[in-house]
């Protein structure tokens, strides 16, 4: 079974631009979550999606948004990029929405904002 | 409030030494789940173990073992006879419903970087 895939793997953008990151979950998984990893803040929850609906959101500004499609694939968007948005963005998928589920993580997208 | 604390930022050991990674958590829920993940240099988080709050039985898997103690809110991870391939960042994480219904949201600790030298 293929794992979670994320594209692109690396991105370089400049301040003020916007970016879209993509995540394809494991086949059969219906829940997708996004996390931001930085050296200073560690791993922080961004949002989670299930059945094309955002079910939970972390403490991030409105510049961070996302969506989930009917095939469970998910995208996240960051508008008006700031230097502090430079991070590794990790996507995770699980069978459904429950705290006991194992989350399967993708390799991440490393975003650098110049 | 939910919180996970991994007080050890970095640990360095010599191959074949035993090493314990500490994890302390906070939650108001009586039902919760604890996880350990490994993050090798490639960046992908790899699941190691899950524990629910009602099962305090310790678990051993090969060279890995986990000690869950609700009385001290700790979920420590021990690697016996460490190997160079164990070098990675290890994260402890907590998941509970925190009154919001079903969610898979993970609260991560800051991570412990383990370096195993040959």
Give the DSSP per-residue string, A47-78: EEEETTEEEEE-S--TTEEEEE-TTS-EEEEE
Inter-chain residue contact B43 with A48, CB threshold 8 Å: no
pLDDT in tens, A22-31: 999 999 999 9
Chain B contact probe: residue of A6, A43, A96 with most B CBs at under 10 A: A43
pLDDT in tens, A88-99: 999 999 998 888
List Cα–Cα distances, B104 to A1, A98, A100, B12, B99, in angstroms: 22, 5, 7, 32, 13
Q: Which of A92, A99, A104 has the CB atom closest to B96's CB atom?
A: A99
Give the tokens for residue A19.
């970016």
Inter-chain residue contact A99 with B97, CB threshold 8 Å: yes
pLDDT in tens, A65-107: 999 999 999 999 999 999 999 999 999 999 988 888 899 999 9
Instruction: Report the side by side order of strands in the sheet with A19-24.
Output: A5-7, A19-24, A74-78, A64-68
Q: Degrees (nearest 5) of the Cα angle A21, A25, A26?
A: 155
pLDDT in tens, A1-60: 689 999 999 999 999 999 999 999 999 999 999 999 999 999 999 999 999 999 999 999
């Amino acid at each position: 079974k293929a794992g979670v895939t994320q594209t692109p793997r690396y991105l370089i953008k400049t301040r003020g631009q916007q970016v879209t990151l993509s995540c394809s979950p494991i086949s059969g998984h219906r829940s997708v979550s996004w996390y931001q990893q930085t050296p200073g803040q560690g791993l922080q929850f961004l949002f989670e999606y299930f059945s094309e609906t955002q079910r939970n959101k972390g403490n991030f500004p409105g510049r961070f948004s996302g969506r989930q499609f009917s095939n469970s694939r998910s995208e996240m968007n960051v508008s008006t990029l700031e230097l502090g948005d430079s991070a590794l963005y990790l996507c995770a998928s699980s069978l459904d929405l429950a705290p006991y589920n194992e989350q399967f993580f993708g390799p991440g997208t490393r975003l650098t904002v110049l | 409030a939910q919180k996970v604390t991994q007080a050890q930022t970095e640990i360095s050991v010599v191959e074949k030494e035993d090493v314990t990674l500490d994890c302390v958590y906070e939650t108001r829920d009586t039902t919760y789940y604890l996880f350990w993940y490994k993050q090798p240099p490639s960046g992908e988080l790899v699941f190691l173990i899950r524990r629910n709050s009602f099962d305090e039985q310790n678990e051993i898997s090969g060279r890995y073992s986990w000690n869950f103690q609700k009385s001290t809110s700790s979920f420590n991870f021990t690697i016996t006879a460490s190997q160079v391939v164990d070098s990675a960042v290890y994260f402890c994480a907590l998941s509970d419903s925190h009154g919001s219904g079903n969610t898979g949201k993970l609260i991560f600790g800051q991570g412990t970087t383990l370096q195993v030298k040959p």
